[in-house]
Chain A
Amino acid sequence: MTAQQHSERSLTRRNFVKAGAIACASGLFALNGCTLEEVKHSQLESDFKGIESKQYGLAINVSMLDALGGQEFIDTIIAACHSYHNVPQIDDPKHSIDWIWTQSYEEAFSDIASTYVDEKTASYAYPVMCNHCTDPQCVRVCPTQTTFKRPDGIVMMDYHRCIGCRFCMSACPYGARNLNFMDPRPYVDKATMNPGYPTRSKGVVEKCTLCYELIDQGSVPVCVQAAYGCITFGDLTDENSEIRQVLAQAFSIRRRVELGTGPNVYYIFDDSALYTNAFTGGEGTLFEEDLLEGGE
């Protein structure tokens, strides 16, 4: 048998590798039809169709919050949020996790604070949280797209993808992100735990998600429900939305605007509602009993 005949009849190494490569490629091509990727993607697109190019935001009326009890009242809002989202209650300030908490004027607005600011403004407690930025730093730096921006403007987290690199925490200019330095579950009160919301695991980052799950059901965020009108929620791109009406009528500021992230939590200073009786109460019904008790 000549060499020529030999190479024609038998499987040389080169031919074997070639055939293998072709088989693998065709196999991958065939398998491609089996993936769920396409289905998932189209599903997402249709889900988001109705909420495209929105930018949800919050307008927090700090004057009204103060009138309703200041820090004490805000603490009930914080408690409502934290218990609804099973946020662990860790006392050590180095490891504590907060989705919403308060800071002083000087701390929250260090760039515009002044020694001679009026006493009222300086004395208010300012609830701070994720600003659901228009151009979020955290989304830009995340190496796994764990945190992403929904078409409705919410900056979302996927707790099941997060690798815990904390790049987002370094990038966030608002200190809105917290890492689970330990297993958070022992720190969630079993009695008040919300079985409808997932707990997180050790080593992942979490933050306020603007209650996307309530918004998707047509409701409003928990803090808005618990604030009895002191916090207004809505689409900032819609000029007829309630939040735009509120913002159009009062002076408002945002945190660290100069960084260009486009924060979407506005702080308004307007206690006219107290005198005009325009204060109508929150949209939610979740905390009506609290309202009756707290209103006295």
Chain B
Amino acid sequence: MLEKVLKGSKFYYGWLLALLVLIGIGVLAYINQLVNGLQLTGMSQDVNWGLYIAQFTFFVGVAASGVMVAIPLYLHDYKEYGPLIIFGEFMAVAAVLVALLNVIVDLGYPARIFNVVLYPTPHSILFWDMVVLSSYLLVNIIIGWTSIAAERKGTKPAHWVHVLAIIAIPLAISIHTVTAFIYCGNVGRPFWASAIVACRFLASAFAAGPALLLLISFIMGKFTDYKLSDKAVDTVAKTVAYAIIANVFFFMLEIFTAFYGNSPHHVEPLAYILFGVHGHNQLVPFMWAAAVLIAIGIVILLVKKWRQTRGLLIIALLCVFLGCWMDKGINFVLAGFVPNSFGEIIDYVPHPNEIMVIVGTFAIGAFVLTLLFKVALAVREGIAQPEAVQKSAAARELAEELKSAEMEEAVEAAKSERAAREAEEAARKAAEEEAAKAAEEAAKAAEEAAKAAEEAVEEGAATAENAAENAASAAENAGEAAEKAPAPEAEAAPETTAEEAAE
């Protein structure tokens, strides 16, 4: 199945190349950090975790959100999610990868990372995070890969895969809960030491993750045959709506508890992100931007008519995703260090090098995501082709070519009546040479192709696509007729390929 990643459009290769460039930049930046130490980050003795750990936290959430597709499908047999689940699982794989990479780049002494395994320490939450994250990664790779392999063979996945998928549900909840425990166990950091953290993490994850999944689905739909049913899209959108509202609610609970109770330790970090404290207000723009974005997202998602308008839905999903990212991928971690042990406020100014490293980790995630999605889509496409098309390799390739070939070429070819006549003649010649039945079929096919071409000339460019498709199906017939049909050249015009196929 892995070979599917090798074959794609120019855009596919261009996208992968662009990601590879970003990965290269990220790797160079990381080498720079390895040589010079973590001074090449915005971190300090007072703000000792920064954007790396924030990205880790955010992407653990994205990974966990796969359950929002898995629960309806596996526990409630909601069949609309059938085509979506594999992408949810593969997105979880890529997201866990980004999360883990951000932990690794965050380490001061990464060469010793296996000390976490060599000296297992159950009283450390980081140890448990390693356990659940690596389990979740493994489980999702296994489920995703076996499911798509079964799909390719036209069978159902083995029973144990289903069992594993159900095990993955509490595991997904656990990865984000354990990540929240990293923060809320710190009694000295009042902004973090709150029982609401795990709930808030899960709520914002269940909003941002499915939002990202839908956005990626729309992008895939643009470039491939992949289509989600409107019902599935709307259900995911509703999930996003519920989750983001829950997240806002949990945040409001925190606000009330802090400001009504008015304990200075509790108030100060919140005041820092909401209004700024003593002139330190660098996180305030992110807080309010997140608030506005999430508000826009909620309004669009709540109104059924707006939610079901594709353009508005995309805006809403982008708003929710970005809002959650600013909330969890920037503010939550940084505000936890305010104030420090001595009541001081130390600002965090990101270093360009650390931003390059983070972009590199994102690029690695996107690269892996692209490859995994490519495999899944290619397997699906292979199954979707009709049997007759599959039988004749030449005809199938022709059909694919026509689908993806530039429209101009098709139009030009269709305009050429001479080519059509030639094809007709060639088909007749072939008919003479081949067995009588096969020859007749081929001739018919060629005629169809010619007709299609003529139609295209009459109706102009708008219907050219149709004509090209007709020509393609004609060519398929021709291909079947001639048993030893040679593979048509990639950039051939429909009529000439039909001629060749007939021969």
CB of B336 to closest CB in A, whole Å: 8
**For residue B118, which residue of chain A has the nearest CB?**
A144
**In chain A between 90 and 110, which residues have their CB closer than 8 angstroms to a CB of chain B?**
93-97, 103, 106-108, 110
B127 adjacent to A205 (CB under 8 Å): no
Interface status of B350 (Cβ within 8 A of chain A): no
Q: Which chain A residues border B46 with CB–CB below 8 Å?
A: 94, 175
CB of A167 to closest CB in B, whole Å: 6
Interface status of A203 (Cβ within 8 A of chain B): yes
Q: Which chain B residues border A169 with CB–CB below 8 Å?
A: 45, 48
A204 to B108, CA, bound (A): 6
A95 adjacent to B39 (CB under 8 Å): yes
A171 adjacent to B186 (CB under 8 Å): yes
Given contacts A95-B45, A175-B46, A179-B45, whether A203 and B108 have CB atoms under 8 Å apart is yes
Interface status of B119 (Cβ within 8 A of chain A): yes
Q: Which chain B residues border A137 with CB–CB below 8 Å?
A: 186-188
Given contacts A141-B185, A182-B36, whether A202 and B108 have CB atoms under 8 Å apart is yes
A247 to B185, CA, bound (A): 32
A203 adjacent to B342 (CB under 8 Å): no
Interface status of A52 (Cβ within 8 A of chain B): no
A80 to B118, CA, bound (A): 37
B173-187 vs A, Cβ < 8 Å mask (1 yes, 0 no): 000000000100111
Interface status of B142 (Cβ within 8 A of chain A): no
Interface status of B106 (Cβ within 8 A of chain A): yes
Given contacts A179-B108, A259-B187, whether A143 and B45 have CB atoms under 8 Å apart is no
A162 adjacent to B37 (CB under 8 Å): no
Interface status of A180 (Cβ within 8 A of chain B): yes
Interface status of B352 (Cβ within 8 A of chain A): no
Given contacts A95-B45, A173-B341, whether A163 and B188 have CB atoms under 8 Å apart is no
Most chain B C-beta atoms within 10 Å of own C-beta, residue among A95, A107, A143, A182: A143
The listed residue (A93, A110, A171, A181) touching B342 by CB distance below 8 A is A110
Q: Which chain A residues border B108 with CB–CB below 8 Å?
A: 162-166, 179-180, 202-205
Interface status of B296 (Cβ within 8 A of chain A): no
Q: Which chain B residues border A167 with CB–CB below 8 Å?
A: 124-126, 182
Interface status of A54 (Cβ within 8 A of chain B): no
The listed residue (A95, A170, A203, A256) touching B44 by CB distance below 8 A is A95
A165 to B113, CA, bound (A): 9
A276 to B94, CA, bound (A): 72
**In chain A between 227 and 262, which residues have their CB closer than 8 angstroms to a CB of chain B?**
256, 259-261
Given contacts A140-B124, A179-B45, whether A161 and B112 have CB atoms under 8 Å apart is yes
CB of B109 to closest CB in A, whole Å: 4
Q: Which chain A residues border B340 with CB–CB below 8 Å?
A: 175
CB of A188 to closest CB in B, whole Å: 15
B343 adjacent to A106 (CB under 8 Å): yes
A17 to B106, CA, bound (A): 41
A144 adjacent to B343 (CB under 8 Å): no
A37-80 vs B, Cβ < 8 Å mask (1 yes, 0 no): 00000000000000000000000000000000000000000000
Q: Which chain A residues border B116 with CB–CB below 8 Å?
A: 143-144, 163
Most chain A C-beta atoms within 10 Å of own C-beta, residue among B37, B123, B186, B336: B37
The listed residue (A108, A141, A162) touching B109 by CB distance below 8 A is A162
Interface status of A194 (Cβ within 8 A of chain B): no
The listed residue (B45, B107, B110, B343) touching A110 by CB distance below 8 A is B343
Interface status of A265 (Cβ within 8 A of chain B): no
Interface status of A145 (Cβ within 8 A of chain B): yes
B37 adjacent to A170 (CB under 8 Å): no
A202 adjacent to B37 (CB under 8 Å): yes
B109 adjacent to A163 (CB under 8 Å): yes
A106 to B118, CA, bound (A): 43
B302-336 vs A, Cβ < 8 Å mask (1 yes, 0 no): 00000000000000000000000000000000001
**In chain A between 145 and 180, which residues have their CB closer than 8 angstroms to a CB of chain B?**
145-146, 161-167, 169-175, 178-180
**For residue B33, which residue of chain A has the nearest CB?**
A203
Q: Which chain B residues border A179 with CB–CB below 8 Å?
A: 38, 45, 48, 108
The listed residue (A107, A145, A173, A201) touching B187 by CB distance below 8 A is A173
Interface status of B189 (Cβ within 8 A of chain A): yes
Q: Which chain A residues border B257 with CB–CB below 8 Å?
A: none
A261 to B341, CA, bound (A): 14
Q: Which chain B residues border A97 with CB–CB below 8 Å?
A: 45
Q: Which chain B residues border A146 with CB–CB below 8 Å?
A: 115
Interface status of A183 (Cβ within 8 A of chain B): yes
**In chain B between 78 and 135, which residues have their CB closer than 8 angstroms to a CB of chain A?**
103, 106-110, 112-113, 115-116, 118-119, 121, 123-127, 130
Q: Which chain B residues border A193 with CB–CB below 8 Å?
A: none
Given contacts A95-B44, A167-B124, A170-B49, whether A182 and B37 have CB atoms under 8 Å apart is yes
**For residue A103, which residue of chain B has the nearest CB?**
B342
CB of B341 to closest CB in A, whole Å: 3
Interface status of B344 (Cβ within 8 A of chain A): yes
Interface status of B43 (Cβ within 8 A of chain A): yes
Interface residues of chain B, those whose CB is within 8 Å of chain A, are: 36-39, 43-46, 48-49, 103, 106-110, 112-113, 115-116, 118-119, 121, 123-127, 130, 182, 185-189, 336-337, 340-344, 346
Given contacts A163-B108, A164-B38, A173-B341, 17 further A-B contacts (CB under 8 A): A97-B45, A140-B185, A144-B112, A144-B121, A144-B124, A145-B121, A163-B115, A164-B107, A165-B126, A175-B341, A175-B342, A179-B38, A179-B45, A182-B37, A202-B37, A256-B341, A261-B187
Sample of 30 A–B contacts (CB below 8 Å) = A94-B46, A94-B346, A95-B44, A95-B45, A96-B45, A103-B342, A137-B187, A143-B124, A144-B118, A144-B124, A161-B112, A161-B119, A163-B110, A165-B106, A165-B107, A165-B108, A166-B48, A167-B126, A169-B48, A170-B186, A170-B337, A173-B187, A173-B188, A174-B188, A175-B340, A175-B341, A178-B45, A179-B48, A203-B38, A259-B188
Interface residues of chain A, those whose CB is within 8 Å of chain B, are: 93-97, 103, 106-108, 110, 137, 140-146, 161-167, 169-175, 178-183, 201-205, 256, 259-261
10 A-B pairs closest in CB distance:
A164-B108, A173-B188, A203-B108, A175-B341, A94-B44, A143-B126, A107-B342, A203-B109, A169-B48, A181-B39
